[in-house]
């Protein structure tokens, strides 16, 4: 079993509640709109981090982060990107089990064509009346479960 912390849209704000929610995970995936390199440095104090840049990550430091990332954890294949409309592959055809994205600031878990689409919501500054949240993704071999944590 692997426990993955999933966070997005921090926009330079790493809340203490997000740090607490991610403690104990094996890996953190940040799905873009990081906002500053400091966010990643702080997350790395919790667990290894895989991050992609989002549409607001335009400064020089952000060029170190790809727009998409492929992650393989045991038998699970994960594709990470910021905006779901940037998806330019057929996840099922590519053998992807989970697609992780951010951008909408809305937590969502949806299964389509056997592929789990996961958006942890926004962990940064509150936007409109949308919740502030992160997700914990538990991988059990080829199955997975998601818990959203409001922060």
Tokens 């997350």, located at residue = 43
Return the higher-pLDDT residue of 81 and 130: 81
What residues have CB less than 8 Å from 93, skipping those under 6 apart? none
- Split into its structural domains, the chain has a count of 1
User: Domain of 146?
Assistant: 2-150
Its pTM surpasses 0.85: yes
Full DSSP string of 110-136: EEETTEEEEE--B-SS--TT--BEEEE
pLDDT of residue 43: 98
Within 10 angstroms of residue 107's Cβ, the number of other Cβ atoms is 22
The domain spanning residue 144 has which CATH number? 3.60.21.10
User: Minimal CA–CA distance to 51: which of 59, 62, 87, 73?
Assistant: 62
**Considering the chain, what is the average pLDDT of its residues?**
96
For residue 149, what are the CA distances in angstroms to 122, 126, 142?
11, 15, 23
| Paired tokens of 127 | 């936007």
Average of pLDDT values for 59-87? Answer: 96
Q: Tell me how far apart the alpha carbons of residues 26 and 36 are, in angstroms, rounded to a whole number.
A: 22
């Amino acid at each position: 079993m692997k426990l993955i912390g999933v966070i997005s849209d921090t926009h330079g704000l790493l809340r203490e509640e997000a740090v607490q929610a991610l403690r104990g995970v094996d890996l953190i995936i940040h799905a873009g709109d990081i906002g500053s390199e400091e966010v990643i440095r702080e997350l790395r104090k919790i667990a290894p981090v895989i991050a992609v840049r989002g549409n607001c990550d335009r400064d020089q430091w952000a060029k170190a982060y790809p727009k998409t990332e492929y992650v393989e954890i045991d038998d699970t294949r994960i594709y990470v990107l910021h905006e779901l409309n940037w998806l330019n592959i057929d996840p099922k055809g590519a053998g992807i089990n989970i697609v992780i994205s951010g951008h909408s600031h809305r937590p969502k878990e949806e299964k389509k064509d056997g592929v789990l689409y996961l958006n942890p919501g926004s962990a940064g500054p509150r936007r409109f009346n949308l919740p502030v949240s992160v997700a914990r993704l538990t991988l059990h071999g080829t199955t997975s479960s998601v818990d959203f944590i409001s922060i």
